[in-house]
Amino acid sequence: MNLQHDVRTVARQFQIYGEFLGAESYGSGHINDTYRAVFDQAGAPARYIIQRINHNIFKAPVAVMDNIRRVTTHLAAKAAGAPDFSRRVLTLVATRDGGYFHRDEQANHWRAYLFIEKARTCDAVESAEQAFKAAQAFGAFQKLLADLPAPRLHDTIPDFHHTPKRFAALEKVIAADAVNRARLARAEIEFALRRKEICRVLLDASLPERVTHNDTKFNNVMLDEATGEGICVIDLDTVMPGLALYDFGDMVRTTTSPAKEDERDLSKVALQLPMFEALARGYLSSAGEFLTPVEKKFLPFAGKLITFEIGLRFLTDFLAGDTYFKVHREGHNLDRCRTQFKLVESIERQETAMDKLVESIK
Ligand code: ADP
Ligand code: GN1
Ligand code: MG
């Protein structure tokens, strides 16, 4: 396969033993360039993830790596000794000169991780049990990082979940309509503009700042193939100070409807209450002990808000000409926006029931 990057040369910069056998593009992330590389180590194949950080989006890749190094070190210290601990935390592979990332001649920043074997990620949720396990893992992740020693983590993308700023960005691209696409998205633009008032709610609620993941979509947790456990939380570029509710909200967005994020058949997109219940129970089983009553109360609302926010971002990118998220077909970002807004509507219809459900969980 013809890869976009010379992964063999990049891999040579890391302390990886054995002979390079090959590499392929891997995963379905929208941001970084991810490769799975295989080496022959004394007769056994060993796999690694080799990743290029998208520096158009992460403007300070060294700060990203500094956060990731601190977070993985902290988590690894806590997991040490547990059965299978090297599958429970991402392990950065050191570079030949002892660093934890490699900067190439084109100023790309690269990292290598041990490949977590016997686990998988899924783009769409398949069962309530998966929703439970994923949420439990993300809740545990927040809990384990609650005592991360100072200093404060870097803000790798400032205002990442500042919904009013995301809304303002949309208003700006609508006004500019630089690629003449607003005419293709009239209904979605109307949908967004009618909901401006929800954007500020969490910011105005005086919620505690915590160390959060900020990108807790379902395919950012690896599920153990044998037990189904959410064994390892991955994609740590956006781990930074934030609100616990952003994380829960993104879980609602990606695990309560069985459809893929870019599903074109919108009749498949709807929040399923049993999925939401499993998700809330899973999350509260690990995060319940530290959440405040106000945070708990806002769990359903957070699901609606983050789904709306990501919908705004897809719409913004569509109108700007697809400059942020990777796209694989025409209208891809608009399709993604449509699923998000369909889910927002579905949540709006069920919000009272979701509120009651959360209240009933002790
Ligand atoms: P992106 O930021 O582009 O979403 P991710 O870090 O989420 O990139 O990686 C993309 C995909 O690669 C993940 O969904 C997962 O399937 C796979 N992946 C990432 N890290 C590992 C790992 N250490 N072991 C196994 N698979 C991984
Ligand atoms: C991006 O990296 P990935 O694909 O896990 C994005 C998230 C969005 C998500 C939507 C740094 O996540 O914020 O919610 O796509 N990451 C960044 O699928 O913008
Ligand atoms: Mg990812």
342-353: per-residue pLDDT in tens?
A: 999 999 999 999
Strands 119-120 and 109-114: unpaired
DSSP secondary structure letter of residue 134: H
This prediction has a pTM of 0.97
Pocket flag, ligand 2, residue 217 (CB < 6 Å): yes
User: Average pLDDT for residues 267-294, to the nearest whole number?
Assistant: 98
- DSSP H helical segments within the chain, as ranges? 7-11, 61-79, 128-144, 163-176, 186-193, 244-255, 273-287, 293-297, 299-320, 332-360
CA distances in angstroms from 317 to 27, 163, 248, 332, 351, listed in the order given: 21, 15, 24, 10, 28
pLDDT > 90: what percent of the chain? 98
Query: Does pLDDT of 70 surpass 60?
Result: yes
Average pLDDT, the chain: 97
Query: Does pLDDT of 254 surpass 70?
Result: yes
The token pair at 254 is 């990606």
The CA-CA-CA angle for residues 55, 59, 63, to 5°, reads 105
What's residue 296's pLDDT? 98
The token pair at 201 is 């709610």
What's residue 3's pLDDT? 81
Mutate which of 16, 31, 34, 89 for ligand 1? The one with the most ligand atoms within 8 Å of its CB, which is 34
What's residue 140's pLDDT? 98
Tell me: the pLDDT tens digits for 21-35? Answer: 999 999 999 999 999
pLDDT > 70: what percent of the chain? 99
Q: Which residue CA neighbors atom 8 of ligand 1 most closely?
A: 29
- The C-alpha atoms of residue 108 and residue 81 are separated, in whole angstroms, by 35
CA 229 from chain centre, in angstroms, equals 18
Give residue 15's identity as a one-letter amino acid code.
Answer: Q
- The C-alpha atoms of residue 318 and residue 330 are separated, in whole angstroms, by 10
Query: Does pLDDT of 316 surpass 90?
Result: yes
What's residue 58's pLDDT? 98
User: Average pLDDT for residues 294-301, to the nearest whole number?
Assistant: 98
The CA-CA-CA angle for residues 143, 252, 224, to 5°, reads 60
Mutate which of 217, 240, 316, 337 for ligand 2? The one with the most ligand atoms within 8 Å of its CB, which is 217
Query: Does pLDDT of 253 surpass 90?
Result: yes
The ligand 1 atom at the shortest distance from the C-alpha of residue 31 is 3
Query: Does pLDDT of 222 surpass 60?
Result: yes
What's residue 174's pLDDT? 98
- The C-alpha atoms of residue 249 and residue 121 are separated, in whole angstroms, by 19
Range name among 127-131, 313-317, 358-362 with the lowest pLDDT average:
358-362
Tell me: the pLDDT tens digits for 206-218? Answer: 999 999 999 999 9
**Residue found under tokens 């998700």:** 279
Closest CA to 66 of 152, 137, 147: 152
User: Average pLDDT for residues 57-83, to the nearest whole number?
Assistant: 97
What's residue 1's pLDDT? 55
What's residue 362's pLDDT? 79
Query: Does pLDDT of 190 surpass 80?
Result: yes
Tell me: the pLDDT tens digits for 100-152? Answer: 999 999 999 999 999 999 999 999 999 999 999 999 999 999 999 999 999 99
Pocket flag, ligand 2, residue 261 (CB < 6 Å): yes
Give residue 190's identity as a one-letter amino acid code.
Answer: E
- The C-alpha atoms of residue 280 and residue 297 are separated, in whole angstroms, by 11
Q: Which residue CA neighbors atom 5 of ligand 1 most closely?
A: 235
Which is it for the CA torsion 196, 199, 201, 203, positive or negative?
negative
